[in-house]
Structure 1
């Protein structure tokens, strides 16, 4: 039995009927690389069960102290059932991307049962009409509560699923596990009394170490309740959220973003990603007649190293970045973002994209979870105060080397992020191999047409790409002769039916 920290307890306390602290990691696999070209659900179930010992929290549940007199505890679930947590479903026909996004959004929006370990995994087949993905692909959605994410042990979430080689050995039999009995209410109350009595002593050293942080928090508190004017314009995404979520994504070539950054000297790929997201958001709000005159602001989590421990592990912090949505010219917008990010004091300590890629080389899921946890903590601790920013854009470089689940190659990686009151739109930007995936999660009532925002992102990307590849450099199309223009073109023959998709067999 172990007690939650104050930050992890805040995630539990901040959950409400319309906003929870779940993050859902999305993985899509090509099972043609697996032995025999097929991965069975029973293999995945045995694979996960054999590795549960690496993540004890996956067999632990929350035990709250009577009257919430102290922070909750993690205790082992005496009734743990792996088949409750790992589930097998399929999309209905035709099994297209829109259906997948709707299903994933519904799974993400449902709160986790606090009487059980705080995670669920869904193996989804029936992805028969996906474009740009191998035939027979299947998806694995891992939904986990932020309180159960231990960023210090960053590689365990990824290790639960993945290997670095398609030639993985068969899952080992699970190690015998005997859960401990839960303590009674009297024991919990005695612990709570001891913790309350020793609280001043335990807080003395952290108070001295974090005095500057407390000063900043006090300043923020005073500013909020003195009615200080907002530093950025509010939009539809900065109101109370509903319990329903939407999700969509667009994939781009990494080389194109590298070309886009060349439009502005000193710009990075991260700047180019921010600019494309800003352009998409500007287009969407303009279509709704809601584009503010002033620039919108995004909260951008970044990996930083402590100045006191230059050789230590990277942690995550965040900065507010003006997105330049008040600028119509895309290059000017990119230049404004580059000027903001390069002058930030926090960015001076930021880990480079190359180094962060090495940190996330074997743990991309954990890197996504860490940034998501950072963003949710602001909402959990600030409650109903002024919104942190208009939206959040979490950019997490992923591994270049392929990852495998029972021999099936990981071909897509993204995340559905938590949204909260005051910030109903979060972008998740992940890279894997030579692709960049830009996804967004939003409140359904604030964004009833996610396909429109997705198309606005695509058009924003094309706008930048057109600046990189101007029309003057494109090869001119040969002019058709008058005789050819007069020839009636016969309709194309009806394409043959696609080969039946390979399925994940139970």
Structure 2
């Protein structure tokens, strides 16, 4: 029997028609590398062969009687690939604008909870028919950023005609339990919760004490509920808008090396600069810095065996109140060091431990009441947005024989934080995906366009400080000196 962890189940309880909890991805493919000419039927059949027998793709939810405990996963005995892999075509001229418009519509559609919680939409006709795009959706109850990336990569190969990588060897469907057993387990789980609470209360209290000490010493991570209010910090609707762009990973790494920072420091600095420019254009730039919630994988540190989501979170100020990009990066690096030290001092399983107390019925009712009363607009802003940096493949990958030339992740948005920025490395590029509530940010492209501009500004600032060529110029020179493939 495969019971959802409290954290996995929380993403089910958080979901409303406006606050959809699936994770999306926009995968741009070049079908010219495929051993046989592209056809939707062949691609659908190939995906079917690869996902059959893989629990993450073929399991569905089963509720516990009376909602006394978190749901369990059971095998979908009527699994049908035609319910999960669909075909669409872009309207003429089939360019970027048409693609993100269609993707925005698909992202706003909820997943059917009576089936395995994933879909793929194969979109034809992109760039005059030269490219095929696969738009993926997987519920957050089944994956986090890292496991979702791994799951998609397991459907890929290192060569166009090679077999896809091994699909999670050893993972099997759990035994199916009857209603009486589920009810008994749920009653037992509820009876033992006070013991569980007592066990995690002491470590939590120590963590709070350490946080207070760090705050007094000025070495704590940024605190939630201290973010300035912006136009995208309110109650969201179910409408979505999407934008994507690319950055040169070599340039980012050169900046990292020249400044003694990290790739994540640079990514957050670029996001801060892009958001600053976006808000300045609208005369909305607040005096204090925006605050981002940054999911952190604790997969390697966690002591828990089960559960798809193994994440924690830290809070980071983005330096939107700092005009100079190099000064913003230096401030970001220092504050991130403090935030990581603070985060490492907290149990890796703290969020998962407390999520076990999420009651299925009361949690869902509370979320709906929160949205209906528009409370996100009445209390201090918890955080302005979510920003994720997910490691991706360092080499070319091929999806059903077609080379992946773009892999843009898109996370969920929340009441009170209507924008999500997710960055993934992919074969020497950083693919940036931005998704927003349409009413919170009607023109997401006005934000997306600033990412490459901010990389140029930061590159120039680093060069000016060292009297050398900019990291962007160095990267271009290296590429010119490489022999043709």
| TM-score interval, normalised by the smaller of the two chains | 0.7 to 0.9
- For residue 150 of structure 1, report the CA deviation from its aligned partner: 7.2
Q: 1:345 to 1:192 in 2, by over 3 A?
A: closer
Compared with structure 1, are the counterparts of its residues 216 and 55 closer, same or farther at alpha carbon in structure 2 (3 Å cutoff)?
farther
Q: CA deviation at 1:257?
A: 1.9
Work out the CA distance in 2 between the residues paired with 1:64 and 1:255.
Answer: 48
CA shift at 1:152, angstroms? 9.3
Describe how 1:113-192 pairs up with structure 2 within 5 A: 113-129=112-128, 136-149=130-143, 157-169=151-163, 188-192=182-186
Look up the match of 2:46: 47
Is the contact between residue 47 and residue 171 of structure 1 (CA under 8 Å) also seen in structure 2? no
**Post-superposition CA distance 1:402-447 (Å, at most 9, x none):** 2112221111111121001111111111111121122211110011
Who is 2:268 aligned against? 274
SS, match of residue 411 in structure 1: strand
User: Per the alignment, do residues 307 and 119 of structure 1 end up closer, same or farther by CA in structure 2, a change over 3 Å counting?
Assistant: closer
**CA–CA distance in 2 between the matches of 1:156 and 1:437?**
16
1:289 to 259, 283, 290: 283
Q: Which residue of 2 aligns with 1:71?
A: 70
TM-score normalised by structure 1 residue count: 0.73
Q: How does 1:366-405 map to 2 (within 5 A)?
A: 387-405=381-399
After TM superposition, the structure 1 = structure 2 runs for residues 459-498 of structure 1, keeping only pairs within 5 Å, are 459-468=453-462
Following the alignment from structure 1 to structure 2, what is the Cα–Cα distance between the partners of residues 232 and 426? 16
Distance in 2, matches of 1:156 and 1:473, equals 39
Contact kept, 8 Å, 2:227 with 2:380, in 1: the verdict is no
Counterpart in the other structure of 1:477? none
Aligned 8 A contact 1:398 1:432 in 2? yes
> TM-score, normalising length from structure 2?
0.76
Contact conserved, 1:386 with 1:422, CA < 8 A, in 2?
Answer: no
Deviations 1:36-70 (A, max 9, x none): 4x232222222222222452132222222343222
Q: Pairwise mapping of residues 329-348 of structure 1 onto structure 2 (< 5 A)?
A: 329-346=324-341
Q: Is the radius of gyration larger for structure 1 or structure 2? A: 1
CA distance in 2 between partners of 1:180 and 1:473 (Å): 59
Identify the match of residue 453 of structure 1 among 441, 447, 455: 447
Distance 1:184 1:217 in 2: 45
For structure 2, which runs of at least 5 residues remain unmatched after alignment? 167-172, 213-222, 304-308, 346-351, 371-378, 470-485
Distance 1:473 1:181 in 2: 63
2:417 and 2:271 mapped to 1: Cα distance? 16
Consecutive unaligned residues in structure 1, runs of 5 or more: 130-134, 173-178, 219-227, 351-372, 475-506
Does the residue aligned with 1:401 lie in a helix, a strand or coil? Answer: coil
Shift of 1:99: 1.1
- For 1:341-366, what per-residue CA distance to the aligned partner results, in whole angstroms no more than 9, with x for missing partners? 2333437859xxxxxxxxxxxxxxxx
Preserved contact between residue 304 and residue 349 of structure 1 (Cα < 8 Å): no
Q: Which residue of structure 2 aligns with residue 25 of structure 1?
A: 25
Hey, what does 1:255 align to over in structure 2?
250
For residue 89 of structure 1, give the secondary structure of its aligned residue in structure 2: strand
